[in-house]
């Protein structure tokens, strides 16, 4: 039964467990080095596992760790699925199940949501014509609150200042920068000034790893957004389209939200995946496992970002900010983990049924 023990304490053990679980399930494995090291000198890799033939027509893909530290939640679900959720099932010749582990292994190994260049990878997949610059509308109003310079002023009054900003500019104003910015390399939601290492490496290997299926359903695993220990699925499909209605019906008990018609994130990963897989009927879903309120989450992100750039590494303020980030992205709470691991596996099993078009097995659903 997936539970709190599905979670790994650090990147090295998460990767080792993923590899072992994939091998035990009969998967083929590959690792793609990014030429970077973790805190104990380990080589950082994006790991890939494949159950089923490269010629499969219907494929389901589970990816984790696009946002570094959030990868501990995604990896727990991937491992629990491989270790227990698949039972004795193995795919028939026209189906395959793929796993991408640790898309931002540097962030996962170093406890950050961003990568080695402070890049939010989910803002780094711009299309070929899109400029690597720009600030979102309303950015200037919130910049001073989100990007404080230097050591933390005391008292900080973040919540009060955020409230005043909301009163002046509307409730959504404070979250406006979250759609991505390209002009503040040390800021939050920085999309980069060019493709990141992970982006470039994925371009090289993705087609080889995925093959040429007719259909691919992709579940990208994240944490932080939504009600505590509950899940929300963000579909890369507009409301009322047949694709969206299929997903909404398919995940009946889990909330599925349609892609917003405007104000959407720049450089997001899933639309880029779709663009790379021409000829494939691609459906992307982001799974979010909720923790705290959006304002608390934003404060933790902002405090950690400030500490990373402006506090001596290892100082008490630095350590506190990093622990606070871990609390809101991979809550250590046993109750949270005991709810999220089985919920994640149930969602993954449902994704398999939807993506492969048939019940996967009759193994006990946790």
**Residues in the site for Zn ion, rule: CB under 5 A?**
67, 70, 222
Q: Nearest to residue 82, comparing CAs of 95, 68, 65, 101?
A: 101
Helical spans, DSSP H, in the chain: 11-24, 71-80, 105-110, 139-146, 158-169, 197-210, 242-250, 269-276, 294-310, 316-329, 334-356
Query: Which residues does residue 156 pair with via DSSP β-bridges, in sequence order?
Result: none
ω before 155 within 30° of 0 (cis)?
yes
- C-alpha 212/C-alpha 198 separation (Å) is 21
Minimum CB separation of residue 360 from Zn ion in Å reads 26
Q: Using the minimum distance from each CB to Zn ion, give the nearer residue, 52 or 290.
A: 290
> Which lies closer to Zn ion via its Cβ, residue 54 or residue 225?
225
In degrees and rounded to multiples of 5, residue 103 shows phi and psi of -65, -30
Find the shortest distance in angstroms from Cβ 307 to Zn ion: 20
CA gap 275, 269 in Å, rounded: 10
Rounded distance between C-alpha atoms, residue 9 and residue 328, angstroms: 15
Q: Measured from the CB of residue 55, what is the shortest distance to Zn ion in angstroms?
A: 33
Residues near 352 by Cβ (< 8 Å), separated by ≥ 6?
A: 60, 97, 360
Query: How deeply is 232 buried, as exposed, middle or buried, from its count of CB atoms within 10 A (0-12, 13-18, 19+)?
Result: middle
Exposed / middle / buried, residue 337 (Cβ in 10 Å: 0-12, 13-18, 19+) = buried
Dist. CA 58–CA 301, nearest whole Å = 38
Least distance in Å: CB of 222 to Zn ion?
Answer: 3
Between 201 and 222, whose beta carbon lies closer to Zn ion? 222
Smallest distance from the beta carbon of 269 to Zn ion, in angstroms? 10
Q: Which is nearer to Zn ion, 56 or 234 (CB)?
A: 234
Count of all residues that appear for the chain in the document: 366
User: Whole-number minimum distance, CB 288 to Zn ion, in Å?
Assistant: 7
Please state the closest distance from residue 323 (CB atom) to Zn ion, in A.
19
| Residue among 67 and 123 whose Cβ is closer to Zn ion | 67
- The CB density around residue 211, as the number of other CB atoms within 10 Å, is 18
State which residue, 51 or 259, has the beta carbon closest to Zn ion. Answer: 259
Smallest distance, Zn ion to C-beta of residue 287, A: 10
- 15/222 with CB nearer Zn ion: 222
Q: Which is nearer to Zn ion, 86 or 308 (CB)?
A: 308
């Amino acid at each position: 039964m997936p539970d709190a023990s599905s979670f790994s304490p650090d990147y090295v053990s998460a990767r080792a467990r993923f590899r072992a679980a994939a091998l035990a399930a009969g998967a083929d494995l590959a690792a793609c080095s990014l030429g970077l090291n973790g805190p104990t000198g380990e080589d950082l890799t994006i790991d890939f596992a494949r159950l089923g033939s490269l010629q499969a027509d219907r494929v389901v893909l589970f990816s984790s760790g696009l946002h570094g530290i959030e990868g501990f939640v995604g990896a727990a679900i991937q491992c629990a699925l491989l270790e227990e959720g698949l039972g004795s099932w193995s795919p028939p010749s026209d189906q395959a199940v793929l796993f991408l582990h640790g898309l931002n292994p540097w962030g996962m190994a170093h406890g950050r949501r961003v990568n080695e260049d402070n890049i939010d990878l989910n803002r780094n997949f711009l299309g070929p014509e899109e400029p690597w610059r720009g600030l979102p509308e309303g950015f200037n109003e919130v910049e001073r609150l989100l990007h404080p310079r230097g050591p933390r002023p005391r008292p900080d009054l973040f919540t009060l200042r955020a409230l005043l900003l909301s009163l002046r500019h509307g409730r959504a104003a404070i979250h406006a920068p979250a759609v991505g910015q390209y002009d503040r390399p040390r800021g939050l939601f920085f999309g980069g000034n060019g493709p990141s290492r992970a982006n470039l490496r994925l371009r090289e290997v993705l087609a080889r790893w995925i093959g040429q299926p007719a259909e691919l359903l992709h579940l990208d695993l994240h944490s932080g957004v939504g009600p505590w220990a509950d899940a929300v699925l963000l579909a890369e499909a507009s409301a009322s389209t047949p694709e969206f209605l299929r997903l909404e019906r398919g995940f009946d008990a889990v909330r599925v939200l349609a892609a917003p018609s405007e104000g959407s994130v720049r450089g997001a990963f899933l639309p880029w995946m779709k663009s790379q897989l021409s000829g494939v009927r691609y459906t992307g879903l982001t799974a979010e496992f909720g923790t705290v309120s959006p304002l608390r989450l934003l404060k933790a992100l902002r405090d950690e970002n400030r500490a990373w750039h402006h506090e001596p590494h290892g100082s008490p303020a630095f350590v506190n900010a990093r622990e606070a980030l871990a609390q809101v992205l991979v809550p250590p709470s046993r109750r949270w983990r005991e709810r999220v691991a089985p919920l994640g596996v149930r969602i993954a099993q449902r994704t398999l049924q939807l993506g492969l078009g048939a019940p996967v097995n009759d193994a006990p659903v946790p």
